[in-house]
């Protein structure tokens, strides 16, 4: 019997990017993913997790000049644990078997 599986939902991490100019005038593009305290789901794996934005916040995050800093700061919270699930995958980059 086939089991119908819901399609995976897309998500977005909160991040920052910047372009730095080197002494020679060259451009260096940098990016960082913002982290927060782990929710109850992630805590057994690690003490922090990426900030996963609510889809309702995407536009505001991508156009920060249109929001007050306090409006952006409230987005930097853990995703509710009930919105996450885990499932087994095959070993990836298993250095123990090399």
Whether 97 is covered by a domain: the verdict is no
Convert the pLDDT of each residue in 31-67 to its tens digit. 999 999 999 999 999 999 999 999 899 999 998 788 8
Look up the pTM and report it.
0.75
* Residue 5: inside a domain: no
Please state the domain count of the chain: 1
Residue 18 inside a domain? The answer is yes
* pLDDT for residue 29 is more than 80: yes
Q: Which residues, at least 6 apart from 74, have a Cβ–Cβ distance to it below 8 Å?
A: none
Whole-angstrom Cα distance, residue 41 to residue 28? 36
Beta bridge partners of 7: none
Amino acid 10: pLDDT: 82
Domain interval for residue 68: 12-82
The mean-pLDDT minimum among 38-47, 64-73, 75-84, 86-95 falls in 86-95
Residue 90, domain member (yes or no): no
Q: Is the pLDDT of residue 95 over 80?
A: no
């Amino acid at each position: 019997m086939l089991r119908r599986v819901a399609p995976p939902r897309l998500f977005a991490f909160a991040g920052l990017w910047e372009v730095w100019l080197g002494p020679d005038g060259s451009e260096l593009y940098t990016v960082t993913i913002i982290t927060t305290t782990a929710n109850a789901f992630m805590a057994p794996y690690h003490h922090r997790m990426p900030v996963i934005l609510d889809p309702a916040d995407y536009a505001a995050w991508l156009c920060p000049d249109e929001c007050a800093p306090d409006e952006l700061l409230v987005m930097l919270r853990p995703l509710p644990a009930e919105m996450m699930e885990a499932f087994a995958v095959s070993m990836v980059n298993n250095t123990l078997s090399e």
